[in-house]
Every structure is written in C-alpha cells, then in structure tokens.
C-alpha cells in the first residue's frame, strides 16, 4: 500500500484526489485461517495487527457483524490515561498510553493523539486520600501522575468553579501525558495496516456459532457459511456473553448501556480532560469545539445502543455546579454503547475452557485507552499461550478470588 505523506497529499491535490487507493479491501472469506478474530472494534483490530507485526501470523480474518469501529470504539469519548491503582492495570494501560504516543507513525495514519493532560477531581476528603494513594502507587509503577491542589486545578481549567456549595474542588490527580485520540481513526488505522499485511477484514458478517471438535475450536458458523480456524479470539465488547455462550462457556460479567452527549461547538475554553467522579460526570472539548460529556452507566442490563433524555438531565445536572457555563449550552446529540462490566472493574484477557479459544472483554466503560496495549498482550497470548501483560487478567481469577480491584480508578470510568 502506498504511504500517506505530505508529498502524497500534494500529488493527489494536483490529480483531483483520484489516485487514492482503498484503505482496506473487502474480500470474500477463505475456507479457513490460522486465526480468526471476532469483532472489528479497536481491540480486535489491534490484536490482529500485533499478531502480524510481532509474530508474523498474517493468515488472519477479522469478522465483524456490522461495520468496523461501529461498536463502542466509534462511540466512546476518547479519554486516554493510565493512572490506575493496581500494578497489572498500570502495566497494560501505560503500555497502551506509550504505544499511543507513536501510533500515528507506526500505522502511517494520523490518529490525532492529543496528550493534553487529564485531571480526576477530588471533591471529597475520601477522594483526596484515594488519589494521593494512587499518585504514590503510580510513582512506584513508573506512571507520571501527581496530586495537585485546588489552585493548580483552577489554573489549568479557568472555567471551573472550585468553590461549589455542595462539592468544592479540593484538588485532583493530574496525568500530564494523558489525553485523547480520534476514535474512528484508531480503528481505521489498524484496519488499513492489517489489510496491508494481507489479512481479511470481513464486514457485514455475523458469527452465529462456534464449532468445536474434541474440546478444541474448529471454526465459526457465520451468516456467510462456515469458516475454519486453528485459533479464535473473541473480542466483541457488549456481546461477549452472547458469543462465549456459543463457544459453550459463561463469563462473569454483565452488559449495560453507557451514554454520552456533545454540546454545540464553542470557542476553545478548556484544553485538558476533566473527570468528576463524585458527581459522576466528565468532559473535554473536541477539536471541533463541542463539549464532549459523559457520566455513569445505566442501571439496567440492555442491548439498546441509544441515548435517553433522563441521562442528559442527570449528567448535566451533576456537572453544572462545577462548570456553570454548561447551563448556557445547547446539547447537540447523544448516543449509547453497550459495555461489558466485570465485578472487579478489570478486563478479562484469557484462555478459555475450549482449546484454541481466547477471550478479550470486560473493558467496561474504559477500554478505548487500552486498545494498543490490549492488542499487544492479547496477540502474544494467542501466539505463545502466555503474555506478561495479560497474565493477571485470566478468567480463573474470579474462581480463585484474585480480584484486581479498580473500582476507584474506574469509578466514573473512561
């Protein structure tokens, strides 16, 4: 595939943009592959990419029931950070964050990574203690965060009211190299690189069954017929329980909707990402000027990828004391995605009871930031049967009581 460059843009400008190649192909499925990944979200595509790049496994298909990136990957609010408390989490999220720094160059695709900094506000004394503890843990893990006082918060975010009557801002956990990236571009960049390595990205094809022979995977039934494989990676956030059931095992997680909304575009007024976990809301400003706003998950299990009015009201009401200017903004649109949430708020990257079947799920409300690290570790797990990045995230931890409790870091999530 021809490289994207400033020179290519100039050349195409002269040719009226008629010479661009398709970014990825849409082939007919082959009879079988060395590995199949179900789900062309960020995690599935990154897993396929690192299978090829790091292990030379390129006879791979990524099978997607809709369009690539159309699940949570194209619906999230794009926050990237790695300020988690537990060592295994900090390792995989920091690996992901550091891969994001050079991902545009690695993929030759501009993913618009913007390390503008992320603050998690402390609005209760309990949160102050919790975040100081996390900052100490991060220092030991080599993750660059620090606890800042309320005056530093105000300096970073002048539009904030730090003297709110109910929840005054007491400080915050600041990660200067956290930020955002363009979510679609992450999926598109990985897809283009996978296609360039000769992998097949098969869209509009639903996996409807998993065929097993003598306890091992033989392939998948799809809406376009049977496709054989030696290894199968299930990477279908929001539908992990459904596809796991097809393979004959159950997962310790539940699926719930998570919603977000954006305001009308306004002039630049906030150049960091702010999360307010006590009141349950967070916001950042997109490159187009919209305020991107989200809150907590819906309280009921559901597979509806839609927004609801009560969510707009609840989330904006939560944030308006700290960000009074929000009350003057018109909200432009809202949407929802389905996220898989585990009991300890940590993901599952694991072998399964079926030989050759691997599962990558449970990223809950905060898996966008993890995409490169998750793909890196999951590819290693699929290729070698073990990865230091995923070792602690096996599904057996729920049986053995070895939880990786991230209920604070993933409190409001994202």
| Contacts with ligand FAD, residue ranges (CB under 6 A) | 38-44, 63-66, 70-73, 75-79, 206-207, 235-239, 243, 258-260, 294, 337, 339, 363, 365-369, 414
Least Å distance, CB 18 to ligand FAD, is 31
Instruction: Please identify, using beta-carbon distances, which residue of 4 and 376 lies nearer to ligand FAD.
Output: 376
Provide CB contacts within 8 A for 8, sequence distance 6+: 2
Least Å distance, CB 7 to ligand FAD, is 33
Least Å distance, CB 155 to ligand FAD, is 24
- Smallest CA-to-CA distance from 77 within 274, 316, 238 is with 274
Instruction: Please identify, using beta-carbon distances, which residue of 235 and 326 lies nearer to ligand FAD.
Output: 235
Instruction: Please identify, using beta-carbon distances, which residue of 339 and 357 lies nearer to ligand FAD.
Output: 339
Instruction: Please identify, using beta-carbon distances, which residue of 4 and 368 lies nearer to ligand FAD.
Output: 368
List phi, psi (to 5°) of 179.
165, -135
Least Å distance, CB 384 to ligand FAD, is 21
**CA atoms within a 13 Å half-sphere pointing along the CA-CB vector of 63:** 30
**Residues 61, 200: contact at Cβ < 8 Å?**
yes
Instruction: Please identify, using beta-carbon distances, which residue of 104 and 360 lies nearer to ligand FAD.
Output: 360
Least Å distance, CB 154 to ligand FAD, is 24
Sign of the alpha-carbon torsion through 410, 290, 143, 338: positive
Residue with tokens 């049977």: 226
Provide CB contacts within 8 A for 62, sequence distance 6+: 36, 37, 39, 40, 44, 45, 48, 68, 191, 194, 199, 200, 201, 202
Q: Where are the beta strands (DSSP E) in 112-252?
A: 118-122, 146-149, 171-175, 179-180, 200-202, 207-213, 216-222, 225-234
Sign of the alpha-carbon torsion through 67, 70, 71, 72: positive
H-state helical runs in 160-239: 183-196
Least Å distance, CB 224 to ligand FAD, is 11
Instruction: Please identify, using beta-carbon distances, which residue of 170 and 218 lies nearer to ligand FAD.
Output: 218
Instruction: Please identify, using beta-carbon distances, which residue of 4 and 64 lies nearer to ligand FAD.
Output: 64
Least Å distance, CB 361 to ligand FAD, is 7
Within 10 angstroms of residue 324's Cβ, the number of other Cβ atoms is: 13
**CA-based angle 263:264:268, to the nearest 5?**
95
**CA-based angle 191:375:4, to the nearest 5?**
35
For residue 355, give the DSSP letter.
Answer: B
Instruction: Please identify, using beta-carbon distances, which residue of 17 and 306 lies nearer to ligand FAD.
Output: 306
Instruction: Please identify, using beta-carbon distances, which residue of 94 and 150 lies nearer to ligand FAD.
Output: 94
Element (H, E) at 13: helix 6-14
Least Å distance, CB 45 to ligand FAD, is 7
Beta bridge partners of 291: 285
Least Å distance, CB 29 to ligand FAD, is 12
């Amino acid at each position: 595939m021809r490289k994207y460059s400033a020179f290519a843009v100039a050349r195409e400008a002269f040719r009226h943009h008629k010479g661009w190649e398709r970014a990825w192909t849409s082939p007919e499925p082959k009879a079988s592959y060395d590995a199949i990944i179900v789900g062309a979200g960020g995690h599935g595509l990154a897993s396929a990419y690192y299978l090829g790049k790091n292990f030379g496994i390129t006879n791979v298909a990524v099978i997607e029931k809709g369009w690539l990136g159309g699940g949570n990957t194209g619906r999230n609010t794009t926050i990237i950070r790695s300020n988690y408390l537990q060592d295994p989490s900090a390792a995989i999220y920091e690996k992901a964050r550091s891969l994001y720094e050079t991902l545009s160059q690695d993929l030759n695709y501009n993913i618009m990574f913007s390390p503008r900094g992320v603050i998690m506000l402390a609005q209760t004394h309990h949160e102050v203690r919790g975040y100081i503890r996390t900052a100490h843990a991060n220092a030991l893990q080599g993750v660059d965060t620090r606890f800042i006082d309320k005056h530093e918060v105000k300096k970073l975010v002048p539009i904030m009211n730090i003297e709110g009557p109910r929840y005054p801002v007491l400080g915050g956990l600041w990660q200067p190299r956290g930020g955002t990236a363009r979510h679609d571009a992450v999926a598109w960049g990985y897809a283009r690189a996978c296609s360039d390595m000769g992998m097949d990205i098969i869209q509009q094809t639903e996996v409807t069954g998993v065929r097993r022979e003598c306890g091992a995977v033989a392939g998948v039934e799809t809406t376009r017929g049977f496709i054989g494989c030696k290894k199968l990676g299930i990477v279908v956030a929001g539908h992990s329980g459904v596809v796991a059931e097809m393979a004959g095992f159950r997962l310790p997680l539940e699926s719930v909707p998570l919603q977000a909304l954006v305001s009308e575009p306004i002039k630049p007024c906030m150049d960091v990402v702010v999360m307010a976990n006590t009141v349950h809301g967070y916001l950042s400003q997109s490159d187009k000027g919209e305020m991107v706003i989200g809150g907590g998950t819906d309280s009921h299990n559901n597979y509806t990828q839609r927004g609801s009015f009560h969510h707009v009201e609840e989330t904006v009401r939560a944030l308006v004391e700290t960000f009074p200017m929000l009350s003057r903004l018109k909200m432009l649109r809202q949407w929802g995605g389905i996220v898989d949430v585990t009991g300890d708020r940590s993901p599952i990257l694991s072998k399964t009871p079926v030989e050759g079947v691997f599962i990558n799920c449970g990223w809950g409300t905060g898996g966008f930031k993890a995409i490169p690290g998750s793909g890196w570790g999951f590819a290693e797990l699929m290729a070698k049967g073990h990865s230091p990045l995923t070792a602690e995230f096996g599904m057996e931890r729920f049986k053995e009581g070895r939880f990786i409790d991230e209920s604070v870091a993933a409190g409001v999530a994202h």
